[in-house]
């Protein structure tokens, strides 16, 4: 066979191979169209990211072999990429915890994940070799050692020309064999995931704003009731009952203690205690304690002296108690504590403390601000009652 015949036969073989590949590509395109339609249906009918990712995983396994998907979303407050979802084989709680404790600062431009995010383009490595690992940045190498893999593909999650995070595909058992057209196809599926994440975020943001608006309406209604009660009675129990309605809308507590200052003796006397967990015996023991207004005497003393909120959401016996606080804890152990000053016209008249007996507090600054508004109303009620008592005493003992 001469060279011309060899060339002709080779050309024929190449044409047959190209026709076969075109046929495969056509089938792949038809399958992709079916998959994309299924994804669009899922996106329009659910905000469940797990459901959409499952469909994407099923579709993409016809493109390439992988056994893990992880999603890192950008946190603007911390300026970092944080892992939010992780699917696949070998994903343990311990592995999640390690990566959750390792947010990726977008200042780390030498990290592959961060490069993909900042450049808004995929970064793929079909085969991770020892030679490549030798060129890895220290942080990339650390993440590889935590979760070894043979191939990795990193894609930016982009919505309306804004990158909101990245998604990573890895195979922990064998390398990838990704071609350029495969990368393009994966990118189209990744867009579906980005859209779902964005839709869920927008709904969550709208729901949060609506809930905040409703919470504000409830708070206004409760405060109006408190103002009405305060104006119509000097009964502190009745005022506190009205306030409790609003406070229970913010957080759960098992007991409340109100301490008022004795300026002559510089003491914080227990004035009122509310809560089913507080028995008469416990109250008697607490009232026997001498709590001074000295800043370092107790948590409530600190709040009185500084005017600051003292928030301790989780308490254990190993915490550094003052001697006075330790005596209180031994009388009745508590698991969470919140103290706020009772202030009237820039004058601190006492402290109110909220306790949990077994559970913990989980309050943010918005919650604390709402609690302060109710405490301000309680301060007014206490002050009105005190002024009334002083007037009664003056009338009974004229000079």
**Residue 145: per-residue pLDDT:** 95
pLDDT exceeds cutoff 60 at 350: yes
Mean pLDDT of 83-111: 90
Instruction: Write the pLDDT tens digit of every residue in 7-44.
Output: 434 434 544 443 444 444 555 556 655 655 555 555 55
β-pairing, 68-75 vs 80-88, is antiparallel
Q: Where is average pLDDT lowest: 84-88, 116-120, 197-201? A: 197-201
Q: What is 233-396's CATH number?
A: 3.30.450.40
Whether 201 shows a pLDDT value over 70: the answer reads: no
Q: Which of 127-131, 216-220, 378-382 has the lowest mean pLDDT?
A: 216-220
Most confident range, picked from 95-104, 156-165, 227-236: 95-104
Let me know: does 52 contact 46? Beta carbons within 8 Å. Answer: yes
What string of DSSP letters covers 148-197? --SEEEEEEEEETTEEEEEEEEEESSS-----HHHHHHHHHHHHHHHHHH
Give the pLDDT confidence score for residue 279 in this predicted structure.
85
- pLDDT reading at 116 higher than 90: yes
Q: Which two tokens stand for residue 374?
A: 């109710």
**pLDDT score, position 297:** 92
Angle between helices 365-396 and 180-232 (to 10 degrees): 10
Q: Which of 112-116, 327-331, 393-397 has the highest mean pLDDT?
A: 112-116
The CA-to-CA distance between both ends of the chain, in Å, stands at 136
Q: What confidence tens digit (pLDDT) does each residue in 173-197 have?
A: 999 988 888 888 888 778 777 777 7
Task: Return d(Cα 153, Cα 176) in angstroms, integer.
Answer: 9
Look at strands 255-262 and 80-88 and give their pairing: unpaired
Distance (Å, whole) CA 49 – CA 85? 9
| Confidence (pLDDT) at 354 | 93
pLDDT tens-digit series, residues 248-305:
888 899 988 888 888 889 998 888 888 888 888 888 888 888 899 999 999 999 999 9
Residue 158 phi, psi dihedral angles, 5° rounding: -120, 135
Report which of residues 240 and 351 the model is more confident about.
351
User: Whole-structure pTM over 0.85, yes or no?
Assistant: no
Q: Report the range of poorest mean pLDDT among 37-51, 97-111, 144-158, 192-206.
A: 37-51
For residue 51, pLDDT beyond 80: no
Q: Which CATH architecture has domain 65-177?
A: 2-Layer Sandwich (3.30)
- CA–CA–CA angle 320, 324, 327 (5° rounding): 90
Mean pLDDT of the chain: 80
Average pLDDT over residues 94-103: 92
Distance CA 320, CA 317 (A): 8
Average pLDDT rounded to a whole number, residues 100-127: 93
What is residue 306's predicted lDDT score, i.e. its pLDDT?
Answer: 93
Confidence of residue 46 (pLDDT cuts 50, 70, 90): low
62, 122, 256, 342, 376 from 259: Cα distances, Å: 69, 62, 10, 9, 15
In the sheet with 347-356, reading across from the earlier edge strand, the strands are 267-274, 255-262, 347-356, 336-344, 310-312
């Amino acid at each position: 066979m001469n060279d011309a015949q060899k060339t002709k036969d080779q050309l024929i073989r190449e044409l047959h191979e190209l026709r076969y590949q075109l046929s495969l590509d056509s089938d792949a395109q038809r399958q992709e169209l079916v998959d994309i339609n299924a994804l669009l249906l899922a996106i329009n009918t659910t905000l469940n990211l797990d459901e959409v990712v499952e469909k994407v995983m099923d579709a993409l396994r016809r493109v390439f072999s992988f056994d893990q998907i992880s999603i890192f979303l950008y946190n603007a407050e911390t300026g970092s990429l944080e892992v939010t979802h992780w699917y696949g084989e070998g994903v343990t709680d311990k592995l999640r915890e390690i990566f959750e404790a390792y947010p990726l600062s977008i200042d780390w431009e030498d990290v592959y994940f961060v490069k993909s995010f900042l450049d808004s383009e995929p970064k793929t490595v079909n085969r991770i070799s020892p030679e490549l690992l030798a060129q890895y940045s220290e942080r990339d190498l650390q993440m590889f050692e935590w979760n070894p893999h043979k191939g990795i593909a990193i894609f930016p999650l982009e919505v309306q020309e804004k990158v909101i995070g990245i998604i990573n595909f890895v195979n922990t058992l064998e390398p990838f064999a990704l071609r350029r057209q495969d990368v393009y196809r994966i990118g189209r599926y990744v867009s579906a995931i980005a859209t779902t994440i964005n839709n869920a975020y927008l709904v969550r943001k709208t729901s949060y704003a609506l809930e905040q608006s409703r919470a504000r309406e409830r708070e206004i209604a409760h405060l109006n009731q408190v103002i009405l009660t305060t104006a119509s009675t000097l009964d502190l129990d009745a005022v506190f009952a009205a306030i409790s309605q609003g406070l229970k809308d913010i957080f759960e507590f098992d007991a409340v203690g109100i301490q008022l200052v004795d300026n002559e003796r510089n003491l914080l006397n227990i004035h009122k205690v509310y809560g089913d967990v507080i028995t008469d015996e416990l109250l008697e023991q607490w009232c026997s304690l001498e709590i001074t207004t000295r800043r370092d005497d107790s948590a409530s003393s600190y709040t009185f002296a500084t005017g600051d909120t003292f928030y301790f959401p989780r308490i254990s016996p190993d915490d550094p108690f003052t001697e006075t606080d330790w005596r209180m804890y031994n009388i009745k152990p508590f698991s969470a504590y919140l103290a706020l000053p009772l202030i009237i016209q820039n004058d601190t008249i006492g402290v109110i403390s909220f306790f949990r007996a077994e559970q913990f507090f989980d309050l943010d600054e918005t919650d604390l601000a709402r609690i302060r508004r109710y405490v301000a109303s309680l301060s007014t009620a206490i002050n009105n009652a005190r002024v009334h008592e002083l007037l009664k005493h003056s009338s009974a003992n004229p000079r």
